[in-house]
Structure 1
């Protein structure tokens, strides 16, 4: 009898966990930046008028992963820290992968800097806003990208891509870890 109840509870737990993990990693929302009842605790740029208890322009670091970054905003909503990244471009039906990976990097950095697990963050485009959830597979993807970048720095790994002016022109890796596009093909 007790074993049946324990078994049932384990099955229910696994079922609920699998349902939660299969939710999409983002949710489209109405465009707004702040939170009701939330407190602004970090701003990327220095301000002329400073709020009490707000950190301005500090470079946040993760020694464990060798990452540094400055999210545009961090809000404290209850016990939760929520990074917000503003983008000057428009989005289509979903957030851009590079922007999601940037936000996931901020999750990792903030967790190490503030010693709190980050559950979600927001990417705000000119025409849309997406709430991105901190999922294991997103973190694994970030770690895989970081490993590839480290291998590229050492010259051990070179991705199989074709140089393209339109794709490489604004790439943040151009001229740093990636030497694929040298500006000679248009």
Structure 2
């Protein structure tokens, strides 16, 4: 009886734990949610560029989409950039394909959005209208005037050089010393 009760509880737990909802992620961005180019890290932060986005849900008539899009500073080190700036000039060199890995879009929507969690299908390589060069409805900053809520928004930060951990350096140095001593003792 206990055996069957345990199986029932495990099945119930699996059923309940699989029904989760997307929400805003407050931790530091994962390395697979941004790309590095020209000394900067670039992230595709949102499919809109307004703070409060409320529209009728096209796929579910009678319901609305309510999204809150956070500023770049919501995560340490990230910033927006103005059109025509030096960073924007570098950003304009990037293509949609630069934000793709194995046919999947590299983005960080859940790090800045309360509702949106996926890139629009038109930006997916298998979509009929996909064109990596028709990637011009993009912006480096939010525009709360509401005029451009269809723009894709990107944020940037200065790339941080990857520095090996002291433990890794110690192990490497110990190995070199060991090889040197072994060679010395062999003579």
Same fold (TM over 0.5): no
TM-score (norm 1): 0.28
TM-score (norm 2): 0.28
Structure with larger Rg: 2
